[in-house]
Amino acid sequence: MVIQQTILFEEAKFIIQEKIIRHIAIIMDGNRRWANRQNLPHTIGHDTGRKTFKNIVKHASSLGLEYLTTYAFSTENWGRDKQEVFFLMDLFVESLRNEIKELADNNVRLKFIGRKDRLDNKFVQLMKKSEYDTSNNTGLTLQIALDYGSRFEIAMALKNIVQDVQNGTILCDDIDEKLIDSYLYTNNIPDPDLIIRTGGEYRLSNYLLWQSAYSELYITPTFWPEFDSEDFDNAIIEFSKRQRRWGKG
């Protein structure tokens, strides 16, 4: 078992070193369904998912991956039970306070994408401090999508473009795909090569819709709390076997 894991790790690491893959995005799905199957409260599912998240970030960093984006909380997740939402927000704050030093020590650069106006101000300040404290790190760039919705992101980008046209900062003729990219949360971050979705659902769920135009999708039935480094390496190896045609044939 250990030998097999080592082989997978080395193969995945080689793929990353060869720049075959630079950016992986993950839809971390299945915490609640995993808890249901275990006859456990949903809170245990989310807490176990947090531990999985920590392990995958550490593993991605050890592989030498450049960018990892994770879907932590969507704009639609506010519609869940209030107690569950409160628990998740407390979990985010606790995790950030406890893990930021380790992330910094491991040369990870942290970035949050999504809305900030609906989050507690103290949490937002903690997020900003975490981004600042890791801004000079040169290893893995970890983007956490929190209160994130791709349609809202695109709508706000278009709104800001219109405002800049009206105030003369840019011209209508300046508008192209590259310009729109620059108005998104993910400005200066390459589009994901691979999007992994755990939990077996076959949809993007309002996640990186613009950025995923030519991303490869990897769907696994494994619930997020059970997803491990071997699963992650297998996704990278599977990706390397695909032929990306970019619509050219």
pLDDT tens for each residue of 72-117: 999 999 999 999 999 999 999 999 999 999 999 899 999 999 999 9
pLDDT band at 1 (very low <50, low <70, confident <90, very high): low
CA-based nearest residue to 115, from 70, 59, 57, 75: 75
Closest C-alpha to 20, from 61, 59, 66: 66
Please indicate whether residue 249 or residue 236 has the higher confidence score (pLDDT): 236
Q: Look up residue 181 and give its two tokens.
A: 């990219």
Does pLDDT of 27 surpass 90?
yes
105 catalytic per annotation: no
Residue range 133-163, pLDDT digits in tens? 999 999 999 999 999 999 999 999 999 999 9
Q: What percent of the chain has pLDDT over 70?
A: 98
Contact between 103 and 95 under an 8 Å Cβ cutoff? The reply is no
**Average pLDDT of every residue of the chain:** 96
29 included as an active-site residue: yes
Instruction: Supply the pLDDT for residue 247.
Output: 72
Q: What is the pLDDT of residue 249?
A: 61
Q: Are strands 67-74 and 23-27 parallel, antiparallel or unpaired?
A: parallel
Predicted pLDDT at 111: 98
Cα separations (Å) of 223 from 8, 59, 84, 184? 21, 18, 19, 30
Q: What is the predicted pLDDT for the residue at 245? A: 75
pTM over 0.85: yes
Tell me which of 36, 55, 77, 234 is the catalytic residue.
77
Work out the angle at residue 203's Cα, subtended by the Cα atoms of residues 119 and 238, and round it to the nearest 5 degrees. Answer: 110
How high is the pLDDT of residue 85? 96
Q: Which of 1-10, 121-130, 144-153, 162-171 has the lowest mean pLDDT?
A: 1-10
State residue 244's pLDDT score. Answer: 81
Domains and CATH numbers, the chain: 2-240 (3.40.1180.10)
